[in-house]
Amino acid sequence: MSTQSGKLVVGISSRALFDLEDSHAVFETQGREAYCEYQIEHEEDVLEPGVAFGLVRKLLALNDQAERVEVILLSRNSADTGLRVFNSIAHHDLPITRAAFTSGDSPWRYVSAFGADLFLSADPDDVRAALAAGCAAATIVPGHSIAADEGELKIAFDGDAVLFSDDAERIFKQHGLAAFTEAESAAADEPLPGGPFKAFLEALTHIQAEFDPAECPIRTALVTSRSAPAHERVIRTLRAWHIRIDEALFLGGMAKAQFLRAFGADIFFDDQATHIGPASGMVAAGHVPHGVANESEP
């Protein structure tokens, strides 16, 4: 939870919130001036929901009886071209009132100033900068599945390099599965170090505690390639952290996409592009460019 507001604060880029692919294509092919003209010409045209739109709507619905969540727009648009974005926010009846428009510069530097607990963007460079500054962040990947506006908010997380550090994943990458399994079994009683999304899951757990468990509108899942016996350290780590996880799927290397669809995830966070790609065709997916899987080969 943001210490500044006592709420869960989520920063989101305009391209993650709305479908801006057409206008972004203008920017990529014709430049900033043509992009600005395009946005002003289409100022009254309402933007369609983007990949993270359903997630944002469900997050804001948690404010039904108390102010638990705030969503802030962090955009590379200028205030002038951003008018279309705010018009679309009003049209879709989203209670988003705070924003930073940076006229092409990276908006990640305002993540800390706003006290954001999570930053979602379509720009990988902005996401990496936010992660380096200590904020949970993910690159929203274009996909065909948009979360439903109704029902529980369901968020799924990978384990290593997302909820946990990448210490164990480094052993796997450098020495193989047998060494990884042996190391995790030997350290089963030692809690794993926290990863970039630990604090975000803690904030969700804090909100969950405000509800009757039978009526809680938030459901979380750990979806990991780990399997027994490497599962024990994960379970004991979450217990040591006093963090609630509603479902835990230990897949032993199986593909994750079908399981995420079965869970009904509104978003899934993973550090590995090989998992994010297939998942993005079924659920909203955020790539977390953190840890050994995202380091360049020497």
Q: Is the pLDDT of residue 188 over 70?
A: yes
Please give the domain boundaries of the chain with CATH numbers for all domains.
Answer: 8-139 (3.40.50), 153-294 (3.40.50.1000)
For the chain, the DSSP string reads --TTTSSEEEEE-HHHHB--HHHHHHHHHH-HHHHHHHHHHTTTSPPPB-TTHHHHHHHHHTTSSS--EEEEEEESS-TTTTHHHHHHHHHTT-----EEE-TTS--TTHHHHTT-SEEEES-HHHHHHHHHTT-EEEEEPP-S----SSS-EEEEE-TBTTTB-SHHHHHHHHH-HHHHHHHHHHTTTSPPPB-TTHHHHHHHHHHHTTS-GGG-SEEEEEEES--TTTHHHHHHHHHHHT---SEEEE-TT--SHHHHHHHT-SEEEES-HHHHHHHTTTS-EEE---SGGGSPP-
Does residue 292 have a pLDDT over 90? no
Q: For residues 233-249, give the mean pLDDT.
A: 94
**pLDDT score of 182:** 87
The torsion defined by the Cα of 70, 76, 77 and 83, in degrees rounded to 10, comes to 0
Q: Are 248 and 235 in contact (CB under 8 A)?
A: yes
Residue among 233, 242, 240, 204 nearest 221 (CA): 204
pLDDT of the residue at 220: 97
Reply yes or no on whether the pLDDT at 3 is more than 60. no
- pLDDT interval class at 66 (50, 70, 90): confident
pLDDT tens, position by position, 206-223:
999 999 988 999 999 999
User: pLDDT value at position 298?
Assistant: 41
| CA–CA separation, 106 and 121 (whole Å) | 11
Average pLDDT over residues 9-27: 86
Confidence of residue 297 (pLDDT cuts 50, 70, 90): very low
Give the residue-averaged pLDDT of 3-13. Answer: 84
User: Above 60 in pLDDT, residue 25?
Assistant: yes
In tens, the pLDDT along 119-167 reads: 999 999 999 999 999 999 999 998 765 555 678 999 999 999 999 999 8
pLDDT for 280? 93
Residue 156 is predicted with a pLDDT of: 98
Average pLDDT, whole number, for the chain? 89
| d(C-alpha 127, C-alpha 136), whole Å | 9
pLDDT value at residue 145: 56
User: Per the residue annotation, which of 158, 160, 166, 266 is the catalytic one?
Assistant: 158
Indicate if the pLDDT at residue 296 is higher than 80: no
For tokens 């002003």, name the residue: 40
Q: Which residues contact 286 (CB under 8 A, 6 or more apart)?
A: 120, 138, 139, 140, 141, 267, 268, 269, 270, 276
pLDDT at 5: 65
Q: Is 126 a catalytic residue?
A: no
Share of the chain above pLDDT 70, in %: 95
pLDDT band at 183 (very low <50, low <70, confident <90, very high): confident
Please give the pLDDT value at position 2: 63
Q: Three-state SS string across 219-246, please?
A: EEEEEECCCCCCHHHHHHHHHHHCCCCC
Residue with tokens 């009757």: 212
pLDDT attached to residue 31: 73
Each residue of 78-116: pLDDT tens digit? Answer: 888 788 899 999 999 999 999 999 988 888 889 999 999
Nearest to 9, CA basis, from 127, 86, 98: 98
- Supply the angle between the helices 32-41 and 83-91 in degrees, to the nearest 10: 40
Q: Residue 88's pLDDT is what?
A: 94
